[in-house]
Structure formats: structure tokens, C-alpha cells
Structure 1
Amino acid sequence: MSARHLDPTGERHGGMPTWAWGTAPAGLATRDQLRRRGLRPARGQQVVAQLEWASSKARRSGGIRTSNLYRLDEAVPVGPFTPGRARGLAAAMRVRRTCPTCRTEQAYCISTRLGECASCVAGPNPEVDR
């Protein structure tokens, strides 16, 4: 645990109480921890604190990552997975699998870095196009 990440009063973090990874008090949880319990933050529920830790993945933010903490006693159960949600998820995944260049649906999600399917990225194949 690093003392630079520990600020329970929020004095150094603009009033936001901050704990180092693994030191948050009982009764607070991240979104992932809430989800594992079948809960989610209630509509309008405020972030009450944050976790902060050093990470090599966070190059843009100076090597520091944060995660919001919510009160467990204010969290509400996650809603049921309805047929409408299933249709919405299927439509969103179909969009992610459709190449914007050739408009074909692939068996995989199109890379956001490349922006098109593998066939379009590779370009025309002179061996096949004869």
C-alpha cells in the first residue's frame, strides 16, 4: 500500500475521500463488486469515494488508475434480462461485426483500430481477382 494513494479526508483529492487498492472501508464497493453481488448503483446515487492505485496501463494519467466507490446500502438489484434487452444487445453486436467498407457481417467484431474487416484491410488480392 502506498501512502500517496491514501487520503481518507479527501484533502489532496478535491474533497473526494481516496483509498489505496485493498484498503477501502466495509460498506463501499466498485461497480464490478456491486455487479458480482447482483447490484448496481441506484439512479442518482452519488460516488462517495474512490480507489487509487499505480498501474503501468495508465500511461496517459501518469501511471495512476482510479475507480469510483458506491455505498452498498444504497445499491439496488440489477433488472432482469428481458427479451427487449436481448434484442438490443444482439443489434449492437451485429453493428460491431458489420464492416463499414464492404457492408458484410463477419464472425468477429471489427477492430476499432483498423476500422474495417480483415479482407478490406488486406485490399484486393491479385491472385483471386484474375
Structure 2
Amino acid sequence: MSRIRAAYWDPDGATFGIPTFWWRGAPPGYATRRQLRAAGLRPGGQPIAAQVLWQGVGGTRAAYLYRVDLARPKRTATTAQLRAIRAALLARRTCPTCRQVCSYYIPRSLGECTDCAYPQEAAA
């Protein structure tokens, strides 16, 4: 075991406060948020169970681990939520001046479509 790995080996949490492992050294049963999401799970309000530390660019990096057995299934959006999202995205593409639905999102800096914001260029 290298010195760098040994510096991050604290499976009982005596040094860092929570169980700490080196890069790719966590035992089975722990997963990061991204790994949980890939498995269709979410942490579900559980506290951080462990961490992985490694030497990265700019210093020591950390990834927090959650227990897989306490993870809950990922929630799915209801039909009403999906309908509301669709309506909000449509509103972002609708020009308030000419009421045309654009193929792009209206720039917030302009507040209207480019044809209404720059009428001289649209006529040319």
C-alpha cells in the first residue's frame, strides 16, 4: 500500500469522522449519488455514510458515499408536472411582442425574438 493510499485509509472514521477510503477502495454496499442515479435510486434523506478521498488537481478531492441498502427508488414526474414543464418551455420560445413561437429560446437579454429586437436586419 502506497503512502498516499495509506493517508486516506480510515475505515472506522477515527481520523476523518466518517469512514474514509482511497480511490476505488470502497467496499461493496456504498455508492455515490451518480452511481445511485444510474441504478435508478436516490439517497432518500440518509446521511453521508462514508467518503472517498484522493489527491487531485488543486489538492485533496472527496466523493461522498451512501448506503445502497437504505437508498430509495427514484421518483418519476407526474403527468401534471410534465405538462407544466412542457408549457414553461413553450413560453420560453414564444415572443411576447409578436406572439410567434420561435425554434429557439428567446434571449433574456433581449426579451423578444431577434426579428422584433432587430427589425432593420429582419427586413433586409
Aligned length: 104
Pick from 5, 17, 20: which aligns with 1:18?
Answer: 20
Q: Which runs of 5+ in 1 are unaligned?
A: 57-61, 107-127
For 2:107, the equivalent position in structure 1 comes to 99
Partner secondary structure for residue 34 of structure 2: helix
Structure 1 runs of 4+ aligned residues shifted over 4 Å read 87-90
Of all paired residues, the percent bearing the same amino acid is: 39
Task: Name the residue aligned to 2:40.
Answer: 38
Greater radius of gyration (CA): 2
Unaligned stretches of 5+ residues in structure 2: 93-104, 115-120
TM-score (norm 2): 0.63
- TM-score, length of structure 1 as denominator length: 0.61
Distance 1:20 1:100, change over 3 A: same
What secondary structure sits across from 1:23 in the alignment? coil
Amino acid at match of 1:11: A
2:69 is paired with a residue whose SS is helix
Alpha-carbon distance change, 77 to 51 in structure 1, aligned in 2, over 3 angstroms: same
- Report what 1:51 is aligned to: 52
- The question of 1:65 aligning with 2:61 is answered yes
Q: Give the secondary structure class of the aligned counterpart of 1:8.
A: coil
Distance 1:9 1:77, change over 3 A: same
- State the AA in 1 paired with 2:108: P
